[in-house]
């Protein structure tokens, strides 16, 4: 499998786009502003969208993507998310006030989107093969990460999370080897208390969390705030860790 990084920043700038990953051309993980880097032809073949939560930096381009797809698909796009996230989308986004309700457009019973509840601990088969499992996350709103199993290796994405003791036993017990871990580092170290309250990590806490990881895998830091990105990178590099940490960038392709 191949995971193409469309966006992975904790904010926006001319050089930064928020979280959106493309799995094997037809599946999106989150729908932040990185989604806008896709060509129209690439958008047209999206079949499944897995959301970690409904903060705007992770769903910003979802309404606009669906607007592009309306009337151009024979089958609905499947949105997989927790029931809480689905409720938030229905109540606050696809409510005819902010954006049309694409679950009943172009017609009731034949909507552009289908909602598929997907709760922490559940596993689904992917249409392109392999499986995806929803992982626990500790954020300021109900959220989850994902473990993607290609059958040969796994990739884990924490989503937005603070320290999370529930995560590590699940990763260490993965049925096939963990090849990649994408883990957030949103704040710099002096903002550690703010990071904790907001449900995020800073470099020192991230490194402490990695002490719980027993798998030998590539570790990728994501979701860096663009205003502090250089400092966060320096802090990730300046003290030792039991795992080497690379910075995830838009355009990266992770194979597993």
pLDDT at position 239: 76
Is residue 147 predicted with pLDDT exceeding 80? yes
Residue the block writes with tokens 């903060």:
55
Instruction: Read off the pLDDT of residues 72-87 as tens digits, 9 standing for 90 and up.
Output: 999 999 999 999 999 9
* pLDDT surpassing 90 at residue 255: yes
Mean pLDDT score, 17-46: 99
Query: Is the predicted pLDDT of residue 53 greater than 90, yes or no?
Result: yes
- Structure-token pair, residue 246: 């690379």
| Band of residue 241 on the pLDDT scale cut at 50, 70, 90 | confident
Count of Cβ atoms closer than 10 Å to residue 129 Cβ: 11
How buried is residue 42: exposed, middle or buried, by Cβ count under 10 Å (0-12/13-18/19+)? middle
Instruction: State the number of CA atoms in the 13 A half-sphere of 42 facing the CB.
Output: 14
How high does pLDDT run on average in the chain?
A: 97
Q: Dump pLDDT digits (tens) for 215-233.
A: 999 999 999 999 999 999 9
Give the model's pLDDT for residue 175.
80
Contact 222, 11 (CB under 8 A): no
Torsion, Cα 80 113 36 58, to 10 degrees, reads -40
Task: Name the residue among 92, 114, 93, 95 with its Cα closest to residue 103.
Answer: 114
Answer whether residue 102 shows pLDDT above 80.
yes
Does the domain at residues 2-255 carry the CATH identifier 3.60.15.10? yes
pLDDT of residue 108: 84
Instruction: List pLDDT tens digits, range 177-200.
Output: 999 999 999 999 999 999 999 999
Whether residue 102 is preceded by a cis peptide bond, meaning omega within 30 degrees of 0, is no
Hey, is 168 helix, strand or coil?
helix
């Amino acid at each position: 499998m191949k995971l193409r990084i469309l966006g992975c920043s904790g904010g926006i700038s001319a050089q930064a786009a928020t979280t959106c990953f493309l799995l094997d051309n037809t599946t999106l993980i989150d729908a932040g502003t990185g989604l806008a880097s896709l060509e129209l032809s690439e958008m047209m073949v999206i079949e499944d969208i897995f959301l970690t939560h409904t903060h705007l930096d992770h769903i910003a381009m979802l309404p606009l993507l669906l607007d592009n797809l309306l009337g151009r698909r024979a089958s609905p796009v499947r949105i997989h998310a927790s029931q809480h996230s689905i409720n938030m989308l229905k109540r606050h986004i696809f409510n005819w006030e902010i954006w049309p309700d694409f679950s009943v457009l172009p017609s009731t019973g034949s909507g552009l989107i289908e909602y598929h509840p997907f709760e922490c601990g559940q596993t689904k088969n992917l249409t392109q093969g392999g499986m995806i499992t929803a992982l626990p996350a500790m954020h300021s709103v109900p959220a989850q990460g994902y473990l993607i199993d290609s059958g040969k290796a796994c990739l884990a994405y924490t989503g937005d999370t603070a320290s999370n003791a529930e995560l590590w036993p699940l990763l260490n017990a993965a049925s096939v080897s963990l090849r990649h871990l994408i883990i957030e580092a949103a704040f710099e170290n002096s903002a550690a208390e703010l990071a904790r309250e907001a449900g995020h990590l800073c470099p020192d806490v991230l490194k402490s969390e990695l002490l719980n990881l027993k798998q030998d895998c590539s570790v990728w830091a994501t979701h860096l705030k663009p205003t502090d990105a250089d400092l966060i990178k320096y802090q990730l590099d300046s003290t030792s860790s039991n795992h080497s940490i690379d910075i995830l960038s838009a355009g990266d392709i992770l194979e597993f």
